[in-house]
Amino acid sequence: GVRYHHVSTDEVYGDLALDDPAKFTEETPYHPSSPYSSTKASSDMLVRAWTRTYGLRTTISNCSNNYGPYQHVEKFIPRQITNIVDGVRPKLYGRGENVRDWIHTEDHSSAVWDILTKGRTGETYLIG
């Protein structure tokens, strides 16, 4: 049957801390820290409400930052690479204590395919 899959972000769980070894799980409470992550958290809640209220067959995935071929040059990883190639010192944000998780687009799309073909309706999957 038909199912709706909602691609979300791990940012709904809040910020990763350098000194905190804890990782997000499907049970981690939502703690969005920006307008972007707040709208993603609310869209996750809408999908869950559609499932509960209307019986819509849904799955949700929360994923980290993607990188890969054809990514716009202004995005973080391509910009760092072009800076190095051009002899420009790469940018360090803040004091360099920020933590960011990355996944290649092919790994992300593979995981979404697995969810679409093997996932259980109503489940949320973390991809990282």
Q: What is the pLDDT along the chain (128 residues), one digit of tens a residue?
A: 678 999 999 999 987 665 565 677 778 899 999 999 999 999 999 999 999 999 999 999 999 889 999 888 888 788 888 889 999 988 777 777 777 788 999 999 999 999 999 999 999 999 98
67 catalytic per annotation: no
Q: Is the pTM of this model over 0.75?
A: yes
Alpha-carbon distance of 9 to 32, in angstroms, equals 10
Cβ neighbours for 12, distance < 8 A, ≥ 6 positions apart = 30, 31, 32, 37, 40, 41, 44, 62
Alpha-carbon distance of 51 to 59, in angstroms, equals 9
Q: What pLDDT score was predicted for residue 24?
A: 75
Q: What pLDDT score was predicted for residue 27?
A: 82
Catalytic residue chosen out of the listed positions 11, 13, 44, 125: 11
- Report strand pairing: 65-67 vs 102-104: parallel
26 catalytic per annotation: no
19 catalytic per annotation: no
- Domain 4-67+102-127 is found in CATH 3.30.70.2740: no
Catalytic residue chosen out of the listed positions 26, 36, 106, 123: 36
